[in-house]
Amino acid sequence: MMKKTGLITGALSLSLVLAACGGNDEGNVNEDNNGADNNAGGDEEAADGEAADVEPQQWRFVVEETQGQVQYVYAEEFAELVSEKSDGALEIDVYEFGALGSEVDQVEQLTDGIVEFAIISPGFTGTLVPEGNIFALQFLFTDDQEVNQDILNESEAINEHLAARYEEQGIMPLSFWTEGAMQWTGNSELRTPDDFQGFQMRTQESPLILESYRAYGASPTAMSWGELYTGLQQGAVDGQENPIFFIADANFNEVQDHMTISNHNMYVTMTTVNPDFYNGLDDATRDIIDEATEEMRQRGFDIQEEQNEEFLAQIEDDDENPTEIYELSEDERDAFRELAIPVRDIYRDEEGGEEGEMILDMLEEEIADMSGEDPTETDGDTEENEDEE
């Protein structure tokens, strides 16, 4: 059985839930609180003994995952850092997925200022910020997650140009980070593009994710992950893509017989903040948020790495729900890569528009510079594996 919380949607449910969760029941979460209620950690010593002197405030941070999963652990640690750095004056309540609605509802809660912080995956913003569809492009980044994280940290295309497009829509990305390589699961094996013919693939919302699977011959359907276990169980969809930790922790392996180690893309997400809220903060408070964001870059990477390793072992050892795990060879991956690369033209010509074209060109160059790999190559050859041949 699926163990996850069901979705509660609609404005009425949201305000009831927020009140019940013990947040600021005055409703204006941006208003400074007067200390007594919200300075619960105020007597604690800051970890480094150098806590900044800032006005007490209480904020909300919503994530797309449930307790124990990567985003939730990240947000809890982020909240702890902010509390320590402010000597308990800044308190962040973390809301797990399902507490405030669907992933798409959560985007709206951030832009409306109902929550101050959110972890938002570009897979749910493709209509609002078309340039963000760039992360739907398969085989664009490298197979090395550390290199990919460095690119996400340092890329001008992403952190300046793409971030500006998000900010225009009321979403300020503080950092872009990976939750690991994505793999396919299915109720049948997925080894060649032929295996995708007519395959009902569940995806997130962004239009280019669906296009990417159409390029393989699949029939993709967008769906919230809150409905995915049942969708897979009842055959509404045949398969899905996700990092390994998520496949196992959401129990998708219980209702899927096959998992393909395809590494066709990485799962990118963003730590975001409401721009009006952030720009309205005093410098000392903003510095605390910025410092916590920087410190969480490596932690976020480590959390996903640990969970992805641990949960692979769990899927392999689950005798009650056996999963046939198949790792694609480089030649098999090339067959998908060849079909995936032309999807970049859809991004350039349609989804991303002129700005998107510039962002993708710049990002391809940055990837080539930082990895020594040419992301425009169709045969997957890299300087490294050419040397090995």
Q: What is the binding site for ligand 6CS (CB under 6 A)? A: 64-65, 103, 121, 179, 204, 225, 242-243, 246, 267
The end-to-end CA distance of the chain, in Å, is: 48
E strand or H helix at 93: strand 90-95
Pairing of strands 90-95, 172-186: unpaired
Helix intervals (H) in the chain? 11-20, 70-85, 103-111, 145-154, 156, 163-168, 207-214, 228-234, 244-249, 275-279, 283-317, 330-340, 343-346, 353-371, 383-388
The residue (of 139 and 225) whose beta carbon lies closer to ligand 6CS is 225
Rounded CA separation 304/70 (Å): 6
The residue (of 90 and 247) whose beta carbon lies closer to ligand 6CS is 247
The residue (of 7 and 335) whose beta carbon lies closer to ligand 6CS is 7
- The nearest distance, CB 262 to ligand 6CS, in angstroms, is 15
Say how many residues make up the chain.
Answer: 389
The residue (of 108 and 355) whose beta carbon lies closer to ligand 6CS is 108
The residue (of 237 and 281) whose beta carbon lies closer to ligand 6CS is 237
Rounded CA separation 132/121 (Å): 9
- The nearest distance, CB 129 to ligand 6CS, in angstroms, is 17
E strand or H helix at 188: none
- The nearest distance, CB 184 to ligand 6CS, in angstroms, is 12
Residue 360 and residue 134 in contact, taking contact as beta carbons nearer than 8 Å: yes
Pairing of strands 90-95, 57-62: parallel
Q: Report CA-CA distances (Å) from 174 to 88, 111, 134.
A: 22, 15, 18
Rounded CA separation 225/264 (Å): 20
- The nearest distance, CB 65 to ligand 6CS, in angstroms, is 5
- The nearest distance, CB 169 to ligand 6CS, in angstroms, is 19
- The nearest distance, CB 211 to ligand 6CS, in angstroms, is 17
Q: Please provide residue 380's backbone torsions phi and psi, each rounded to the nearest 5 degrees.
A: 70, 5
Name the 3-class secondary structure at 386.
helix
- The nearest distance, CB 121 to ligand 6CS, in angstroms, is 6
The residue (of 87 and 249) whose beta carbon lies closer to ligand 6CS is 249
The residue (of 65 and 84) whose beta carbon lies closer to ligand 6CS is 65
The residue (of 54 and 270) whose beta carbon lies closer to ligand 6CS is 270
- The nearest distance, CB 123 to ligand 6CS, in angstroms, is 7
